[in-house]
Amino acid sequence: MLPIAGAMGYATAVLYLYGFGAYIAPISESFGWSRLQTLTGLTIASLIQAVLAIPLGMLVDRYGQRPFALAGVLLMTGGFALLSTATGDQVNWWFLWIVLAVIALPALPLVWTSAIANRFDRSRGLALAVTLCGASLGASLFPLLATWLIKAQGWRLALVWHAGIWAAIAFPIVFFFFKTGTGGRAAAPSKTEPSGQESMTLREGFRSSIYLRLVASTFFVGTSITAVIIHFVSILSEHGIGALEAAGVASLVGVSAIVGRLTTGVLLDRFQASLVGAVAFLLPMISGVLLIFGGDNIPVHATAAILIGLTLGAEVDVLAYIITKYFSLRNFGALFGGLVMAISIGGAIGPAFAAGIFDRYHTYAPFLWYVVAILFASSLTLASLPRPNALGSVPPGAAKPRQPWFWQQAKRGEASGPDLQ
């Protein structure tokens, strides 16, 4: 049940990304803003979370994941609902997004992936895939839910209902089933721990060429795939496709991403992770071309959505899995936090860049050509990684740090130790 509970938490982590796309047009029209102005808040939030991702990862490595998870679900949904109080003043809008970014830090993806990486060994790829299906669920469900709520209630009440409905679904599952063991680290070493990996310090990990290439590839993905998903409904609307039809096509991204994640999870347990990722990142290049020349042909755009979803089902899975193969899990939270930083910066730049392109040229075509080029670069970057020295890694256990009483209370119900499966 841990991967399933993690999936619900991971969906919460992407609420402000995949859940906001349907609100862009009505908010822009309500306040008389350009789409770039509407997305500046999202850009600010992504940058704040990028800066704080590594410190958060270090705290997760020390204190464990459950306390952050429980707080994160409630704070993320609460912050998302708070956007409904926007006054139309740009400074007020930025302030609301800053609040959202800060209070939602405990819901960041590294919390959910760290729990899985430390609890699973032989089937780690598949377990990560199940957890990361939460993002696919969000990409599939949130645009439809938001579009329906906006039509029924208007965008302000829609934000509140959207957040409330998801909190009511996700929090009980996380509370009862996200039980992560003692502390943030695995309690027993794996027999497959590569020599030298165990003793690698966090600083050495950050400075390694392998890690820097992972950061670059993650940044490329953040500026492209995230932006396409956020603007997907608007891209289809540009071709004359209605809002509900566009949202329905966009939901295929999430559905195919579930297939992509599970397939990727199986492949990661059998083949070199960097090559799996390199192939997967080539698929959206086709999607970019289809979105440019698809016109009002819904089947063509549906194909593009499916291909994007298959890659969306691979990107974080591959990057998280690669960390477990090259670095000690003792520092997984901090190292993955660096990748969260990169994808957050990319996620801050990409949607704003796409909005700026549209505001200037009244078409998304130039941005889609950028997506084609940058994902090709990302694929080459992953393909350049060397083969890891050994398969699988779980670091040796360490003494559990003394924890404040409030952390101990938050960690009630946790299992007594890891279940290396």
- Domain annotation for the chain: domains and CATH numbers: 2-181+198-390+405-410 (1.20.1250.20)
Average pLDDT over residues 387-413: 45
CA 49 to chain centre: 12
Contacts for 407 with CB less than 8 Å, ≥ 6 apart: 63, 64, 67
Provide mean pLDDT across the span 211-233.
85
Highest average pLDDT, of 189-198, 266-275, 310-319, comes from: 266-275
| Amino acid, single-letter form, for residue 12 | T
Distance CA 406, CA 260 (A): 39
Task: State which of 29-33, 191-195, 282-286 shows the largest mean pLDDT.
Answer: 29-33
At residue 241, the pLDDT reads 83
Q: What is the mean pLDDT of the chain?
A: 80
Those residues with Cβ within 8 angstroms of residue 180's Cβ, 6 or more apart along the chain or in another chain = 2, 64, 65, 66, 69, 115, 118, 119, 414, 415
Query: Tokens representing 179?
Result: 């039980």
Model-wide pTM > 0.85: no
Buried b / exposed e over 2-21, threshold 16 CB at 10 Å, is bbebbbbbbbbbbbbbbbbb
pLDDT at 52: 86
Specify whether the backbone of 325 is left (phi greater than 0), alpha (psi in -120 to 50) or beta: alpha
- The pLDDT tens digits of the residues spanning 278-325 come to 888 888 888 888 888 888 888 888 888 888 888 775 677 788 788 878
- Indicate the pLDDT class of residue 184, thresholds 50, 70 and 90: very low
What local confidence, expressed as pLDDT, does residue 405 receive? Answer: 40
Q: What pLDDT is recorded for position 396?
A: 37
What's residue 404's pLDDT? 44
